[in-house]
C-alpha cells in the first residue's frame, strides 16, 4: 500500500446548477478529488455530472476523481464542504422567501455534516444565506472559524464589474467591497472602493455610482428575472476562491459571511465582513473604519438579517 499523502477531498452538497459548476472548477483548478452529493431522487444527476466531468478531465489532463453519490458516507473525511442544497429563487421571489423550504434542508445537511465530516471547512451558499449559514453552524455545533457563507465575493464581483464598465477600465484594477447581509440592503463600502488606488468617485459621477449600487443590490434578481432561476457561474467561482484560500493557506482577504462576536458592534450573527481565510479557516475578521453613512446602512442590513435569524431560532 502506498503511504503517500492522498489528495484533498471536496464534497459538494447539492449537485444542481451551482454544484455542477463547482465540480468543474475544482477539477480544472486541481484542488482535489470531488464528491458530488444529492438526495436519492437526484443521484442520477449527481452521477451523470460526475461522469461527464471526469471525461472532461480526460481531455484537460486532470487526474482528480469525481464521483456522484447520495450516500453521506462517501463524503467522510472531506477537507472542504460546499453547500448548495436547497431550492433557488424563481422570478418575483426574494431570498428570504426561501427560508421555510431551505431551513429543513440545511438542518438535514448540518446533522449529516457533523456526523460524517466534523473537521471540514464549510462554505454555505444556500439562501437566505446569512440565516442558513448561522443555522448550519448552530445546529451542527461547529467551530465558527470553520463555517463561512459565500455572498460578499459575489456581490463585490458584481459591483466591481459594473464600476469597471462605467469607468471603461479593466475590472482587474477595481478594488471594491460589499459587506452586510446578502439581501437588497447589502452595503457597498465606497470609502474602501478604488480603481488601483484612485477613488472611484474621481472617475465616476455620484449619480452613476448610486445607480450602480442599486443594480448591485438587485444583481441576483436581475439574473433570476432573465433565466427563471438563480445565477451559478459567478457564485461557483466565488466559493472556489474561498475554498482555494483555505486549502492553499493563501490568507486572502475576502468579504465573507462570518460569525460575529462583537465585531462592528454585532454579536451572535452571521454577516458579510472582510476576513482573512487561511488554513485556520477564518483567521481574522478585519474591522474597517466605516463612514457614518456606511454604519447606518450596515445597521439596517444587520436588522434584516437578525429578523430572519429570529424566525429560524423560533422554529429550532
Ligand atoms: N441534501 C442535498 N442536496 C439537496 C437536499 C438535501 N437535503 N435537498 C435538495 N438538494 C439538492 C437538490 O436536489 C438540487 O439538485 O440541491 C440542489 C440545488 O440545485 P439547484 O436547484 O440547481 O439550485 P442552485 O442554482 O444550484 O442553487 C442552490 O444556492 O444560491 C443559492 O438560492 C440558491 O438556495 C439556492 C442554492
Which residue among the candidates 80, 182, 298, 305 is catalytic per the annotation? Answer: 182
- Answer whether 238 contacts ligand 1 (Cβ < 6 A): no
- Residue 88 Cα, ligand 1 centroid: separation in angstroms? 7
Distance separating the N- and C-terminal Cα atoms of the chain = 47
Cα dihedral 175/195/22/18 (nearest 10): 90
Regarding the beta carbon of 230 and ligand 1, being less than 6 Å apart is answered yes
- Closest Cα partner for 142 from 151, 134, 132, 130? 134
Q: In the structure grid, which three cell numbers stand for residue 294, read together? A: 456606511
Active site annotation includes 116? no
- Can you tell me whether residue 31 is helix, strand or coil? coil
The CA 127 to ligand 1 mean position distance, Å, reads: 9
**pLDDT for 315:** 85
pLDDT tens digits along 120-166: 999 999 999 999 999 999 999 999 999 999 999 999 999 999 999 99
* Residue nearest (by alpha carbon) to ligand 1 atom 7: 105
Residue 8 is given by DSSP the state: P
Which residues lie across from 258 on neighbouring strands?
A: 271
Mean pLDDT for the stretch of residues 103-114: 97
pTM above 0.85, yes or no: yes
Distance between alpha carbon 300 and the CA centroid of its chain, in Å?
21
- Cα distances from 184 to residues 157, 285, 292, 302, in angstroms, run 16, 23, 20, 12
**pLDDT exceeds 80 at position 226:** yes
Give Cβ neighbours of residue 277 (< 8 Å, ≥ 6 apart): 148, 242, 245, 246, 250, 251, 252, 254, 256, 283
Rg (CA), the chain: 19
User: What are φ and ψ of residue 175, in 5° steps?
Assistant: -115, 110
Atom number, ligand 1, closest to the C-alpha of residue 125: 29
Please state the atom number of ligand 1 nearest to the C-alpha of residue 41.
13
For a mutational test of ligand 1's pocket, the pick from 11, 19, 74, 86, i.e. the residue with the most ligand atoms closer than 8 A to its C-beta, is: 86
- pLDDT average, residue stretch 292-310: 95
CB 255 within 8 A of CB 176: no
Q: What is the pLDDT of residue 4?
A: 59
Q: Which three cell numbers stand for residue 16?
A: 444542481
- For the chain, the average pLDDT equals 95
The alpha carbon of 221 and the centre of ligand 1 are apart by a number of angstroms equal to 17
H-assigned helices in the chain: 17-28, 43-60, 99-116, 129-140, 152-167, 200-203, 206-217, 219-227, 233-247, 292-314
> Is a pLDDT exceeding 90 seen at residue 316?
no
Amino acid at each position: 500500500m502506498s503511504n503517500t499523502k492522498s489528495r484533498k477531498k471536496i464534497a459538494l452538497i447539492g449537485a444542481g446548477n451551482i454544484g455542477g459548476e463547482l465540480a468543474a472548477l475544482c477539477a480544472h483548478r486541481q484542488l482535489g478529488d470531488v464528491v458530488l452529493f444529492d438526495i436519492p431522487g437526484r443521484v442520477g444527476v449527481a452521477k451523470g455530472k460526475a461522469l461527464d466531468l471526469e471525461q472532461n478531465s480526460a481531455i484537460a489532463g486532470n487526474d482528480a476523481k469525481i464521483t456522484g453519490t447520495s450516500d453521506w458516507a462517501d463524503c467522510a473525511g472531506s477537507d472542504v464542504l460546499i453547500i448548495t442544497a436547497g431550492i433557488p429563487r424563481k422570478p418575483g421571489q426574494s431570498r428570504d422567501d426561501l427560508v421555510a423550504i431551505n431551513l429543513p434542508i440545511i438542518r438535514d445537511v448540518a446533522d449529516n455534516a457533523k456526523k460524517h465530516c466534523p473537521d471540514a471547512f464549510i462554505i454555505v451558499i444556500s439562501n437566505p444565506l446569512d440565516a442558513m449559514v448561522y443555522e448550519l453552524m448552530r445546529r451542527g455545533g461547529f467551530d465558527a472559524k470553520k463555517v463561512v457563507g459565500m455572498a460578499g465575493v459575489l456581490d463585490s464581483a458584481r459591483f466591481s464589474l459594473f464600476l469597471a464598465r462605467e469607468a471603461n477600465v479593466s475590472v482587474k484594477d477595481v478594488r471594491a467591497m460589499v459587506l452586510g447581509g446578502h439581501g437588497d440592503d447589502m452595503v457597498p463600502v465606497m470609502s474602501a472602493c478604488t480603481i488601483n488606488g484612485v477613488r472611484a468617485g474621481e472617475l465616476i459621477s455620484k449619480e452613476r455610482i448610486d445607480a450602480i449600487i442599486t443594480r448591485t443590490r438587485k444583481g441576483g434578481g436581475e439574473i433570476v428575472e432573465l433565466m427563471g432561476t438563480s445565477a451559478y457561474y459567478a457564485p461557483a467561482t466565488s466559493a472556489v476562491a474561498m475554498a482555494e484560500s483555505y486549502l492553499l493557506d493563501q490568507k486572502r482577504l475576502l468579504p465573507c459571511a462570518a460569525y460575529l462576536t462583537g465585531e462592528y458592534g454585532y454579536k451572535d450573527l452571521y454577516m458579510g465582513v472582510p476576513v482573512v481565510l487561511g488554513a485556520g479557516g477564518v483567521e481574522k475578521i478585519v474591522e474597517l473604519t466605516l463612514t457614518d453613512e456606511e454604519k447606518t446602512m450596515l445597521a439596517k442590513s444587520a436588522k434584516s438579517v437578525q429578523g430572519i435569524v429570529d424566525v429560524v431560532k423560533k422554529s429550532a
